[in-house]
Amino acid sequence: MKRDAKKIVIPGIKGEVCIRRMAHGFPHILARDEGDRYYGLGYAHGRDRQMHMWLLKLIGRGNASAYLKADENLIEADRFMRWLNIAGDADREARHLSPELQAVLDAYCKGVNEAVRATGTPFEFKLMGYQPDEWTPADALLMVKLIGFVGLSQVQGDMEKLIVQLIQKGVDIGRLKELFPAIRDDVSEEYIDLIKKVRLVRPMIPSYVMWRDLLPDFSASNNWAVRPSKTASGWAMLCGDPHLQLQLPSVWYPAVLAGDQDYLMGATLPGLPVVAMGRSQHLSWAATYGTADVCDYFVEEVKDGRYRRGDKWMPLRVREEVIRPKKRDPIGVRVCETDRGLLEGEVDEDGYYLCYAWTGKQQKGTGADALDCVFRIVKAKGVEEARDYFSGLTFAPFNWVFADRAGNIGYQLGGLVPKQPEGTSGLLPYLGWDEKQNWDGMVDPILYPRAMNPECDFIVTANQDLNFMGQTDPMKLSISSYRADRICELLREKGDLTVEDMKRIHYDLHAIQAREFMAIIRPLLPESENGDILRDWDLCYDADSLGATLFERVYRELVLLVFGDSGLGREMMIHLLDGTTLFSVLHGYFDRILLSEASVWFGDQSREDLYRTAIERGLREKAVPHGEVSKVYIEHIFFRGKLPRVLGFDYSFANIGSRSTVSQAGVFKGGALAPTFRMICDFGEDVLHTNVAGGASDRRFSKYYTSGLDAWAQGEYEVLDPGN
618: containing domain: 512-629
Residue 619 forms part of a structural domain: yes
pLDDT of residue 211: 40
Residue 99 lies in a domain: no
Nearest in space to 43 (alpha carbons), one of 104, 109, 141, 106: 109
For every residue of 157-185, which 3-state class applies, written as one string? HHHHHHHHHHHHCCCCHHHHHHHCCCCCC
Q: pLDDT category, 664, cuts 50, 70, 90? A: confident
Bridge partners of 353?
Answer: 199, 300
Q: Is the pLDDT of residue 669 over 90?
A: no
Predicted confidence band at 210 (pLDDT cuts at 50, 70, 90)?
A: very low
Pair 104, 12: CB distance under 8 Å: no
**Whether the predicted pLDDT of 417 surpasses 70:** yes
549 part of a folded domain: yes
Mean pLDDT, rounded, for 278-293:
96
Of 459, 505, 507, 512, nearest to 485 by C-alpha is 512
pLDDT on residue 220: 80
Average pLDDT score over residue span 531-555: 97
Least confident of 153-162, 270-279, 304-313, 460-469: 153-162
Q: Is the pLDDT of residue 216 over 60?
A: no
State residue 205's pLDDT score.
Answer: 39
Does any domain span residue 603? Answer: yes
Mean pLDDT of 492-510: 97
Which pLDDT belongs to residue 3?
54
565 confidence band (pLDDT: 50, 70, 90): confident
Contacts of 495 (CB under 8 A, 6+ apart): 229, 230
What is residue 82's predicted lDDT score, i.e. its pLDDT? 95
Does 291 fall in a domain?
Answer: no
Average pLDDT of span 321-333: 95
Q: Is the pLDDT of residue 698 over 70?
A: yes
Q: What is the mean pLDDT of residues 308-333?
A: 96
Residue 622's domain is classified under what CATH number? 1.10.1400
Structure confidence at residue 151 (pLDDT): 66
pLDDT of residue 209 exceeding 60: no
What pLDDT does 366 receive? Answer: 82
Is 80 exceeded by the pLDDT of residue 256? Answer: yes
- What's the rounded mean pLDDT across residues 546-556? 98
540 domain-assigned: yes
Q: Predicted confidence band at 642 (pLDDT cuts at 50, 70, 90)? A: confident
**pLDDT at residue 668, rounded to an integer:** 65
Averaged pLDDT for residues 91-112: 96
The whole-number average pLDDT for the span 249-261 is 95
pLDDT tens-digit readout, 589-638: 999 999 999 999 999 999 999 999 999 999 999 999 998 888 877 889 88
- Let me know if residue 298 belongs to a domain: no
- Tens of pLDDT along 102-147? 999 999 999 999 999 999 999 999 999 999 999 999 999 999 999 8
Give the whole-angstrom CA distance, residue 151 versus residue 165: 20
Q: Which of 288-292, 358-362, 390-394 shows the lowest per-residue confidence on average (mean pLDDT)?
A: 358-362
The mean per-residue pLDDT over the stretch 158-178 comes to 91
* Phi, psi angles (nearest 5°) of residue 564: -95, -70
Q: What is the mean pLDDT of residues 569-591?
A: 88
- Given a cut of 70, whether residue 206 has pLDDT beyond it is no
Number of structural domains in the chain = 1
> How far is 187 from 151, CA to CA, in rounded Å?
29
Q: Which of 106-120, 537-551, 657-671 has the lowest mean pLDDT?
A: 657-671
Beta-carbon count within 10 A of 154 CB = 22
pLDDT at 202: 60
Per-residue pLDDT, averaged over 664-669, amounts to 72
pLDDT of res. 2: 59
Residue 228: inside a domain: no
Distances (CA, A) of 215 to 20, 386, 424: 27, 26, 32
pLDDT above 60 (res 238): yes
Query: pLDDT > 90: what percent of the chain?
Result: 80
- The Cα 64–Cα 78 span in angstroms is 6
What pTM, to 2 d.p., does this model score? 0.95
pLDDT at 435 over 50: yes
| Amino acid 521: pLDDT | 98
Give the containing element (helix H, strand E) for 34. Answer: helix 34-48
